[in-house]
Structure 1
């Protein structure tokens, strides 16, 4: 295996290790996959967003954290507000299972609203910047001239993960044919997002 491919494999491994952990973005992709609702758009938004952030980090944009510390605080506060608001919505869905649509029944979210929510969950999450721009960017620099191989591996890892999560979720649809399963999922999403939101809020204050 060439040194370039080794760098790409290293990027793939680190990229996957950073995004596989359940968070607000992954929870949203999972729910959209289970509903089979705007999955291509959601997967594309997440994968492209990650690619942009990874490439920005490798290109040297990690200096933002040192030069604009106030901007980091603003992003954390905005992210906390959004996550806590989404946690409330998920909690309401858990308490009202009749409003949950498994397939074509009930009210479905429009494409524009889904994309906006996905963008917000991605770009208002400061952990995304810490993981992709700062951490991946700094590790990529250690590979020298092969840093773009590393970046390519990380981008592929992101695409593979979001594709598998979005399109693979439909395999679980028989389980989620029952309203009780949706209540558990939405309750879990509410807890995860509330915890992330409170964590961001405490780190910003």
Structure 2
């Protein structure tokens, strides 16, 4: 009698893969390692994810949940959109200062799969676009004189934290990034003076 498919297998495999990818890097983790850690057979893994690239792309898409959670924390922490932007940067800085931080899943995957036609690169790029659109929306609601520039600058600060966060945290520079974000936000809320 054939076994019934496990409806939780996809989530379990993805959770285990995420833990392994986060701790060791995407290219360093093999499918057999995921199969062993998830206690599933090859057939189960390949039924849920036809290729490793498909699994990695799903992992990158899943990492959007972290950004969504950061937006929710910011909205709960502050009603003023300008303050929400600062909360988001502070949240990212705090994450990057954690001892176990090995880089952002999205940024790491984007760097490991530089071909813009690759599904993992496409998933990472979609995440970057989502992040930027979220920041642009908040910048508009904050009343920034030039919301796009403010969103771009906050994104650059976040990029710096996520790309260099471990080093910045160890050198104490992450709080400086938050202070810089505060200055950028303050300046962006000033009216643009005529030339």
Query: So what's the TM-score if we normalise by structure 1?
Result: 0.26
Query: So what's the TM-score if we normalise by structure 2?
Result: 0.27
Higher relative contact order structure (alpha carbons within 8 Å, sequence separation ≥ 6): 1
Name the larger-Rg structure: 2
